[in-house]
Structure 1
Amino acid sequence: MFGRSSRQGGAELERPESPPAHRLRRPRWTDARLLVGAALVLGSTLTGAAVAGGDAGPQHWEAARDLPTGHVLTRADLKPVSAGDRPAHLSGTDPLGAAGGKGAVLVQPLRSGELVPRSALGSPGELDLRRVSVPVSAGSASMLAPGSVVDLWTVPEGAAGQDERPRPERVLESVEVARVQSVAQSAAAGRPVDVDLLVPEKGVAEVLAGLGDGEALAAVPVAGSLVAGEGEQ
C-alpha cells in the first residue's frame, strides 16, 4: 500500500510502493490457439501438394525400350508416366485399347523413354515394307540397334589382274534396322552378322542384287540415327 516515508516541509509523506513485476509465461503447445494454427498450416500444405500433384495431368505411356517400325505393340513395351495434357500422345489406363486393340503396329521407330504419339500407331496393312535379312560385317554391325537408320553399301570384288579394288557402291539409302543377331558370337566365329532390315517393297530387288556372292555388306548409320549403346550408363 504505502512504502517508505519522507519529510517535506515538516510533513511526513509516504511513497507508494511499486507494483510487483509479472513474469511473461512461455506459450505451451497445449495452448488451444497454437494447436488450431498448426492444424491450419498443415492443412494448407497438404492441399497445396494435392493441387500440385493434380497438375501432372492424365496418365500417358512411353516406350520401355527402343522399338523399330513394324513392331507389334504389347503392354510390356510401355511404361506409364504423368506428362501433363498431351492429346496427341497415347493416354489412359488401357494403352492397347487406346492404340486400337491388339495387333497395333508402329509405323515409325520409337526411342526408349519417348512418349508414344498416336500418329506412330497403325495396322500392318499401312506398312509398305518387307523384312530382309542381310549379312553385315561385324565392325559395322556393332554400331547397330533396332531402330537404327542406315545406308547399305557393298564392295564388289575386283576382277583378276586388277591392282585397284573397285569403289564401294551404295545399294540402298535410309533403311531401318529391325533386328541384329549376336555380334559377339558372329565375330568370334569370323563370320558376318545377320541383320534384318525393313526395306520398301520396290527396293528389295536392289538389296538382293547387292548381296552378290554372299559377301558381307556395310551398314552405315545416317547422321542423327540411333547407335547401339547410345545413352547407356
Structure 2
Amino acid sequence: MSAGTGSAGARLKKPSWKDPRLLVGILLVLASVVGVISLLGAADQTTEAYSARESIAVGERLTTDKLNRVKVRLGDVEQHYLNPESGLTEGLVAVQRIGKDQLLPRESLGRLDALDRKPVAVTIDEALPGQAVAGSRVDVWVALPDTRNGFSEPTLLLPGAEIAQVTTGSAALGSARSTVVMVLVPDEQMPKLLGAQANKAKISVVWNPGGAGR
C-alpha cells in the first residue's frame, strides 16, 4: 500500500523550473503574445495621404483646396503617393486624370510645360453614348469640305483619345442641342485637328470601348 502511495506521489510531483517541457511551454506562450502584439501594431500603422475632393482633369493645377487628407495603410508603396508630410509643390498639374476620392499617385503629377497632351474642345451635334464620360476613350474622325459643297470621306485623326470633360451646350431655337467634348490631343496631332477646325471640317466623336490608342 505504501509503495502504491509513493508511486502516485511521484507522478503528482510539481514540475521543476529545470523541466525542459515547462520551459518550452513558457517560450511558446511568450512567442504567441509577441506575435499578437506585432500583428496589432502592424494593423495600426496608418499614414496620411491626399485624395481628390472632386475629379481632377489632365492639365488642371493642384491646390490644397481640391484635396482631402485621409488616413490610409499603404505599406511599402507609401512613397509612390503624394502626402501632406512631403507637401504640395507649387505649379503641379495632373498629367493623368484622377477620379473623385482617389489617392494621388506621384506619376500622375507633373509640370505644365512637360504635358504632352492638351485639352481641345470639339463641338458635336450627335448624341454620345452614356459610356462616353471623362476618362473614357473616343475616336475622333474628320471629314474635310470638298469642292462640291459637301464633305470628303471621313478619316480617323485621333484613335483612342481620352475625354477630359463633356459639357452639354445650349440649343438655338429649332436646332438640336450640341455637346462639347474636351479631348486630350498629343502635341504632334494638334496642328491637324486645329487645321480641320479652321477649315470647318465635320468632326465626329465615336466612343471607343476598347480604349485603344494613347
Q: Does the 8 Å CA contact 2:118/2:187 hold for their aligned counterparts? A: yes
Structure of greater Rg: 1
2:190 to 204, 207, 226: 204
* 2:79 aligned counterpart, secondary structure: coil
> Which runs of 5 or more residues in structure 2 are unaligned?
1-36
Name the % identity.
Answer: 23
1:1-233 counterparts in 2 under 5 A?
A: 55-84=44-73, 85=75, 86-92=78-84, 98-101=87-90, 103-140=91-128, 143-154=131-142, 168-182=154-168, 185-186=170-171, 189-211=175-197, 213-223=200-210
Alignment-mate amino acid for residue 88 of structure 1: H
Q: Cα–Cα, structure 1 residues 129 and 223, in superposed 2: closer, same or farther, change >3 Å? A: same
Q: Does the 8 Å CA contact 1:178/1:197 hold for their aligned counterparts? A: yes
CA distance in 2, matches of 1:214, 1:191: 19
Q: Cα–Cα, structure 1 residues 118 and 201, in superposed 2: closer, same or farther, change >3 Å? A: same
Q: Cα–Cα, structure 1 residues 155 and 194, in superposed 2: closer, same or farther, change >3 Å? A: same
* Deviation of 1:213 (Å): 3.0
* Deviation of 1:61 (Å): 1.4
Q: Cα–Cα, structure 1 residues 64 and 144, in superposed 2: closer, same or farther, change >3 Å? A: farther
CA distance in 2, matches of 1:204, 1:104: 23
* Deviation of 1:69 (Å): 1.4
Name the count of aligned residue pairs. Answer: 168
Q: Cα–Cα, structure 1 residues 189 and 67, in superposed 2: closer, same or farther, change >3 Å? A: farther
Q: Counterpart of 1:7?
A: none
TM-score by length of 1: 0.58
TM-score by length of 2: 0.62
> Which runs of 5 or more residues in structure 1 are unaligned?
1-47, 226-233
* Superposed CA RMSD: 3.4
* Deviation of 1:71 (Å): 1.1
* 2:184 aligned counterpart, secondary structure: strand
Structure with more of its chain in helix, by fraction: 2
Alignment-mate amino acid for residue 67 of structure 2: L
